[in-house]
Copies of this chain bind each other. A is one copy, B any other.
Amino acid sequence: MKQKITLKKIAKEFGVSISTVSKALKDSHEISLEVKERIQAFAKYYHYKPNSLALNLRNQKTKTIGVIIPEIVHHFFTKVITGIEKLANDKGYNVMICLSNESYEKEVLNLEMLANGVVDGIIVSVAKETEEKDDYRHFSELINNGIPLVMFDRVVDQMNCNKVIADDKGGAFLATEQLFKNGCNKIALITTPDYVTVGRERKEGYFKALKEHNMAINEDHIIEVDEKLSIEEQLSTLFQGDSIPDGIFAVNEIYAATVMKVARNFGFHVPDDIEVIGFTNGLISEFTTPSLTTVAQHGRTMGQKALELLLDEIDTQDPEYQYKTHLIKTDLKIRNSTKKVQFQN
């Protein structure tokens, strides 16, 4: 194995001190032109590169930012990462991705590891289990230790840090509103248990739209999916009662795609009998039959904004630095699971 070239080795080669070499390579005026040129040529020839580990230790920073996400097999999160990665690269930062797998314990472990000097700042989307436990001390401690933290998508309201969230409520409202506009008046909601913040927000948007149309909330039309059980079975109840919905808003793509499948099995046609709108503009939506109308979340933008805020905090000297919560707007991507509206007002 070829040994790595270091300042020390170059110094020995030229019979000068290490700092002479360091300065020569930085083109310092303290070093004579002749020496500089010879050292630079030598360093170039041997592909000298300052050792990152040494620099990290000296500078007390790593030019690396950490990202903790609950799941990587999830189109939305990969989109966010794409956004983070792109900007990070432009700014000379590396990205370290950790998976919490929706587990509280793993989130804590990841956080501890990253906090230990490994990264200059952290971007995180909270694990479901953590939301369920409602225990956020690991984040508070991080903030107390002065490590910049940005939360995105699944954020903790009371946490004192920068946040980026999609306009979940607005998007849900938009979706429900669209269903009304298309003539539906028995609109069902398929959502997650309430401890999932985004699910809660989307439900709020759905309620808001119902209210604006003076519709009462029909509990039979609201399914809180328990992912430990069969999703299809839970959704089947929608099509068995005496009040079968004519519109369905699902808080994610999988639920939306699954409910279309179930509806078809019950003999209903989408969008003629039932219209469906999902959340998250993932890959599946385009390939279902019919393709799914969704609320687009702009994951890339979200990732980019999160990193922007993080770098902002890392770079700031301002002792009065104020944390922001940035809202990413959502909008409808109309496909074929909703009817084409002929006369729009």
Name the contact of A116 in the complex, choosing from B51, B98, B113 (C-beta under 8 A).
Answer: B51
CB <8 Å contact, A4 and B283: no
Name the contact of A53 in the complex, choosing from B1, B49, B117 (C-beta under 8 A).
Answer: B117
Query: Which chain A residues numbered 14 to 62 have a C-beta less than 8 Å away from chain B?
Result: 49, 51-54, 56-57, 60, 62
Q: Mark A263-276, 1 if CB is under 8 A from B, else 0.
A: 00000000000000
Q: A94-B96, A99-B82, A99-B85 are in contact. Are A75 and B72 (CB under 8 A)?
A: no
- Stretch with Cβ within 8 A of B (4 or more), from A162-170, A184-192, A284-292, A307-315: A284-292
Give the distance in Å from the alpha carbon of A4 to the alpha carbon of B57 in the complex. 14
A145 within 8 A of B: yes
Q: A72-B78, A82-B99, A85-B99 are in contact. Are A2 and B287 (CB under 8 A)?
A: no
Of the listed residues A51, A64, A283, the one surrounded by the most CB atoms of chain B closer than 10 A to its CB is A283
Q: A53-B117, A57-B57 are in contact. Are A79 and B73 (CB under 8 A)?
A: yes
CB <8 Å contact, A257 and B98: no
Residues of A participating in the B interface, judged by any CB pair closer than 8 Å:
1-2, 4, 49, 51-54, 56-57, 60, 62, 64, 72-75, 78-79, 81-82, 85, 89, 94-99, 106, 112-113, 116-118, 144-146, 257, 261, 282-284, 287-289
With A53-B53, A96-B96 given, name 13 new contacts (CB 8 A): A51-B116, A52-B118, A53-B57, A72-B81, A72-B85, A73-B78, A73-B79, A82-B99, A94-B96, A94-B113, A94-B118, A257-B287, A287-B287
